[in-house]
């Protein structure tokens, strides 16, 4: 039997979860910003060994997939314009990712807070939708972490490995959380204008 006290505690945990989920995704985008900021420009369009995606193609894909998630699940939110790998610069990628991260933060906050406007998670047009829940956040994070791993590996293979202090910065979650928290609370920090990260300048 659920008591009033336990119901209040459960409601508090629920609120804390969706607020944390939004902050987590914002912190996740801080890692993307950190990577692009410190990549050697020579790697951006360099052809990697094995005929795999270029780094510019990976980051435009990440942004465009976010736009698809918003288009499929949160039609009331503004869908960010897609990026083209043929014209995208690091600056455009950072600005685009900032915009799509802000919309994803709004989407997560609405979906996980129980908003009736977002009841299903559509990861792709061909995939069966899932009920919104922790799986939604986990999938979104896993997708981006997968591609960030590719970027780090490609930069190394192309002869321009990221500095060790930057690689360590990817795990500096205390600072990432703080920076991402500002994005999550405002849901639009930077307002589309990339800023320099302040950590691990080495």
Q: CA 101 to CA 187: how far, in whole Å?
A: 8
pLDDT of residue 179: 66
Q: CA 63 to CA 80: how far, in whole Å?
A: 9
Query: How confident is residue 152, by pLDDT bands cut at 50, 70 and 90?
Result: very high
Reported as a single tens digit per residue, the pLDDT across 122-142 is 778 777 887 888 888 999 999
pLDDT of residue 188: 38
Residue predicted with more confidence, 42 or 194: 42
Q: Which domains can be identified in the chain, with CATH numbers? A: 18-192 (1.20.120.450)
Q: Average per-residue pLDDT in the chain?
A: 82
pLDDT of residue 184: 53
CA distances from 125 to 24, 69, 70, 71, 129 (A): 25, 9, 12, 10, 9
Q: What is the pTM of this model?
A: 0.79
pLDDT(180) > 50: yes
Region 157-179: mean pLDDT is 85
Percent of the residues in the chain that have a pLDDT greater than 70, as a whole number? 78
Region 3-7: mean pLDDT is 48
Q: Which residue has the tokens 């989920």?
A: 21
For the ranges 27-31, 60-64, 137-141, 195-199, the lowest mean pLDDT is seen at 195-199
Query: How confident is residue 11, by pLDDT bands cut at 50, 70 and 90?
Result: very low
For the ranges 10-24, 31-45, 94-108, 184-198, the lowest mean pLDDT is seen at 184-198
Q: CA 68 to CA 124: how far, in whole Å?
A: 7
For the ranges 41-50, 98-107, 140-149, 180-189, the lowest mean pLDDT is seen at 180-189
pLDDT of residue 9: 44
With a CB cutoff of 8 Å and minimum separation 6, the contacts of 86 are: none
For the ranges 37-46, 100-109, 183-192, the lowest mean pLDDT is seen at 183-192
pLDDT of residue 197: 45
């Amino acid at each position: 039997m659920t008591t009033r006290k336990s119901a209040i505690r459960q409601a508090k945990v629920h609120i804390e979860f969706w607020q944390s989920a939004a902050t987590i995704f914002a912190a996740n985008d801080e890692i993307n910003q950190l990577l692009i900021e410190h990549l050697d420009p020579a790697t951006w369009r360099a052809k990697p060994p094995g005929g795999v995606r270029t780094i510019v193609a990976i980051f435009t894909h990440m942004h465009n997939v976010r736009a698809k998630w918003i288009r499929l699940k949160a039609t009331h939110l503004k869908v960010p314009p897609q990026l083209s790998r043929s014209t995208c610069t690091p600056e455009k990628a950072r600005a685009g990712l900032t915009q799509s991260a802000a919309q994803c933060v709004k989407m997560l906050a609405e979906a996980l807070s129980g908003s009736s406007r977002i009841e299903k998670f559509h990861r792709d047009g061909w995939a069966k939708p899932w009920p919104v829940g922790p799986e939604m956040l986990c999938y979104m994070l896993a997708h981006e972490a997968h591609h960030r791993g590719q970027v780090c590996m490609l930069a190394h293979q192309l002869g321009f490995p990221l500095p060790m202090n930057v690689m360590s910065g990817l795990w500096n979650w205390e600072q990432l959380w703080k920076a991402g928290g500002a994005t999550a609370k405002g849901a639009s920090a930077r307002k589309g204008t990339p800023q320099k990260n302040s950590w691990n300048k080495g």
